[in-house]
């Protein structure tokens, strides 16, 4: 009886969360309704509702992200005009422009050409095949969404595994045919003694003996191939490893570039909002810190997954002859798929040109490490009004070109390739339908909802209050505080969207940094990166869910590898923060554009810095 009741309650769990969470926590704003703490309590109520709705997916997460438009004005925290302005910002345009370029790359299969070419270079032995899948997935995830990367690479990995299974079964059948040639499979009776004697003389009887009136002759093998348990387990582990590496690499690859994943953009937006006088975060500075961090995490993830799924020797356990034959077949399959793409088309070259152009414009927009006589940083934005041309403007400029740049060589006057070509317009690299079909429209809502919620946390004073509470850990070493913060964010994003954690925590960390007189970059950038360390559960990210949907991995499989990847990546992040963070962001010193409020008193910012690691 009790089991049946619990099962029915579980079936209606989303409805229960939808109604119970607001009712259970409604005393929070009611109790403080006539006190000075009301706005903080009311905003905390909104944060709790959003956190539960995001985590449990009571309604689509994109729809949940629209709740700040209703709740913040209703509770008197912010006006609807101020809340709605958070849903379309410069960082949002940067994200949309990046998706436009990704749609053009996907439309003309440039990503597929790159992926197959890379797999040809890495080889087809499982450990190198895993490295190839991880490198390709991580690189693609730097520029297109983690979900799109996994959706493209997972079928390639699955097809490769199916091909490997078929080859191994075929080899086993051939091996059984060879080993069982001397086994009795069928009996033919020969009644004529003269024929039997003739067969015996030619050594065609199974054992060289003559049976009176008959002879036994082997005619074929009908025994099915036998696979022992050890071989079956080895293959299952290999399949799990080669599938799991795709989503893990996609999650890791997103941390390398500013547009790689939404937590990076949330961090850039919050740095601008919390510290308007600061230098902020642009594509170049993020890349110089994020890319080396990503490479180290990727290498350690490959070593960890290889050890877990291929063993200490990282080998398959097959004989060398079979290995060479299998590798040759896999390489032939990849080469054939690459050859089917044909030579690079005009459209692929044009998409590649726009991709390279955007990256170069991002890198050379603002070279802060080169100062000119006027005090401004070098870069092509020197010729524009300072601060007017941002990464978002660059992205939209290049993306706009995609909608009129031709996808074929123009057929006009001297540009015509032959006399047979009829003059006339050609399709553009990207049209609205192609972009709309590939555009995850819920993502800008999630991104905007996170920014709106962060704005409410700041405007209500909740961030300041929580920052004051957390500043009581002043006796804790800075590196230990950073480790706790990053581990907490990584754990939170296992159950919620990876942008929701930074959206809620970054305003709090900004106030905490000022209270503890720590460089805000020291806490905010690593916390945002750790939001991408969602390796343990299928619900953590869409890449995890896509791989889990193939049915070859259990939740326990993901947790066993995910916990180790979390530990390794957090250690790498600690290392790069205390090395590259000093070089790129100067995290060892408190900056002049922030206010040090140790014990509520403004302190000179020239004498404070982070405590060194033991």
Number of domains in the chain: 1
543, part of any domain: no
CA distances from 85 to 90, 336, 503 (A): 11, 51, 16
Tokens of 392: 């978002």
Those residues with Cβ within 8 angstroms of residue 267's Cβ, 6 or more apart along the chain or in another chain: 281, 502, 506, 524, 525, 527, 528
Position 205 scores a pLDDT of 45
504, part of any domain: no
Q: Which residue has the higher pLDDT, 215 or 429?
A: 429
Per-residue b/e over 473-503, b at no fewer than 16 CB within 10 Å?
eeeeebbebbbebbeebbebbbbbbbbbbbb
Position 220 scores a pLDDT of 45
Position 20 scores a pLDDT of 92
Q: What is the C-alpha to C-alpha distance for residues 37 and 217, in angstroms, rounded to an integer? A: 96
Could you give the 3-state DSSP secondary structure of residue 424? strand
> How do residues 527-544 score in pLDDT, each as one tens digit?
999 988 888 877 677 788
The answer to whether 124 and 334 are in contact (CB under 8 A) is yes
59, part of any domain: yes
Q: Residue 424: beta bridge partners?
A: 411
Q: What is the residue-averaged pLDDT of the chain?
A: 78
Position 603 scores a pLDDT of 54
> How do residues 318-356 score in pLDDT, each as one tens digit?
445 555 666 666 677 778 877 888 888 999 999 989 988
φ and ψ of 433, to 5 deg? -65, -45
φ and ψ of 154, to 5 deg? -60, -45
Per-residue b/e over 583-611, b at no fewer than 16 CB within 10 Å?
ebbebbbbbeebebbeeeeeeebeebbbe
Q: What is the C-alpha to C-alpha distance for residues 176 and 173, in angstroms, rounded to an integer? A: 5
The answer to whether 266 and 502 are in contact (CB under 8 A) is yes
Average pLDDT for 299-320: 72
Segments forming the whole domain that contains residue 54: 1-64
324, part of any domain: no
Residue 315's Cβ-side half-sphere holds a number of Cα atoms within 13 Å equal to: 8
410, part of any domain: no
Residue carrying structure tokens 């999630």: 446
Host H or E run for residue 138: helix 126-143
381, part of any domain: no
> How do residues 166-200 score in pLDDT, each as one tens digit?
766 666 666 665 555 444 444 455 555 555 555 45
20, part of any domain: yes
pTM value is 0.69
Average pLDDT for 237-246: 86
Q: Is residue 424 exposed (0-12), middle (13-18) or buried (19+ Cβ within 10 Å)?
A: exposed
Those residues with Cβ within 8 angstroms of residue 404's Cβ, 6 or more apart along the chain or in another chain: 428
> How do residues 421-473 score in pLDDT, each as one tens digit?
566 678 889 999 988 887 778 778 877 887 788 788 888 888 778 777 776 66
Q: CA 551: distance to chain centroid?
A: 20
Q: What is the C-alpha to C-alpha distance for residues 242 and 131, in angstroms, rounded to an integer? A: 9
Q: What is the C-alpha to C-alpha distance for residues 53 and 56, in angstroms, rounded to an integer? A: 5
Position 315 scores a pLDDT of 45
pLDDT at 74 over 90: yes
Nearest to 146 by CA among 417, 500, 459, 534: 534
The answer to whether 490 and 570 are in contact (CB under 8 A) is yes
DSSP one-letter code for 593: T
332, part of any domain: no
């Amino acid at each position: 009886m009790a089991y049946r009741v619990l099962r029915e309650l579980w079936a209606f769990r989303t409805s229960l969360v939808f109604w119970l969470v607001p009712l259970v926590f409604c005393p929070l704003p009611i109790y403080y309704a006539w006190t000075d703490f009301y706005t903080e309590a009311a905003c905390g109520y909104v944060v709790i509702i959003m956190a539960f709705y995001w985590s449990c997916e009571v309604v689509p997460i994109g729809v949940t992200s629209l709740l700040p438009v209703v709740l913040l004005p209703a509770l008197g925290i912010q006006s609807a005009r101020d809340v709605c302005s958070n849903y379309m910002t410069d960082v949002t345009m940067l994200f949309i422009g990046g998706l436009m370029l990704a749609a053009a790359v996907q439309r003309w299969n440039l990503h597929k050409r790159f992926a197959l070419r890379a797999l040809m270079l890495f080889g087809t032995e499982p450990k190198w095949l895993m490295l190839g899948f991880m490198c390709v997935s991580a690189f693609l995830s730097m520029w297109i969404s983690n979900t799109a990367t996994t959706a493209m690479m997972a079928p390639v990995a699955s097809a490769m595994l199916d091909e490997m299974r078929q080859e191994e079964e075929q080899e086993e059948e051939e091996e059984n045919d060879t080993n069982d040639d001397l086994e009795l499979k069928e009996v033919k009776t020969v009644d004529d003694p003269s024929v039997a004697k003739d067969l015996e003389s030619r050594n065609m009887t199974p054992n060289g003996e003559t049976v009176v009136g008959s002879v036994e002759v082997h005619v074929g093998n009908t025994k099915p191939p036998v696979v022992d348990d050890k071989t079956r387990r080895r293959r299952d582990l290999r399949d799990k490893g080669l599938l799991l590496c795709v989503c893990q690499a996609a999650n890791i690859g997103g941390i390398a570039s500013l547009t790689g994943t939404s937590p990076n953009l949330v961090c850039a937006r919050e740095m601008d909002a919390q510290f308007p006088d600061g230098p902020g975060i642009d594509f170049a500075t993020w890349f110089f810190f994020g890319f080396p961090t990503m490479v180290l995490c990727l290498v350690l993830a490959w070593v960890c997954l290889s050890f877990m799924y291929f063993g200490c020797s990282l080998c398959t356990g097959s004989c060398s002859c079979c290995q060479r034959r299998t590798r040759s077949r896999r390489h032939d399959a990849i080469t054939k798929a690459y050859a089917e793409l044909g030579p690079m088309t005009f459209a692929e070259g044009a998409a590649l040109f726009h991709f390279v152009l955007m990256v170069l414009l991002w890198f050379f927009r603002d070279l802060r490490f080169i100062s000119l006589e006027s005090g401004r940083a070098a870069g092509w934005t020197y010729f524009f009004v300072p601060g007017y041309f941002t990464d978002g403007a660059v992205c939209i400029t290049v993306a706009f070109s995609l909608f009129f740049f031709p996808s074929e060589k123009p057929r006009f006057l001297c540009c015509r390739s032959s006399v047979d070509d009829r003059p006339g317009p050609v399709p553009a690299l990207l049209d609205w339908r192609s972009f709309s079909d590939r555009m995850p429209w819920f993502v800008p809502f999630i991104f905007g909802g996170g920014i709106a919620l962060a704005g409410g946390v700041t405007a209500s004073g909740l961030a300041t209050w929580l920052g004051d509470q957390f500043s009581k850990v002043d006796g804790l070493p800075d590196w230990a505080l950073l480790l706790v913060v990053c581990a907490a964010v990584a754990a939170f994003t296992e159950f919620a969207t990876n942008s929701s954690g930074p959206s809620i925590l970054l305003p709090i960390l900004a106030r905490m940094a000022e209270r503890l007189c720590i460089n805000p970059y020291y806490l905010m950038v690593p916390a945002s990166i750790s939001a991408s360390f969602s390796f343990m559960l299928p619900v953590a990210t869409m890449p995890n869910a896509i791989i889990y949907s193939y049915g070859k991995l259990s939740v326990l499989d993901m947790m066993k590898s995910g916990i180790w990847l979390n530990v390794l990546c957090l250690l790498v992040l600690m290392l790069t923060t205390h090395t590259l963070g000093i070089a790129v962001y100067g995290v060892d010193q408190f900056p002049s554009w922030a206010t040090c409020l140790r014990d509520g008193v403004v302190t000179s910012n020239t004498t404070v810095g982070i405590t060194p690691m033991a």
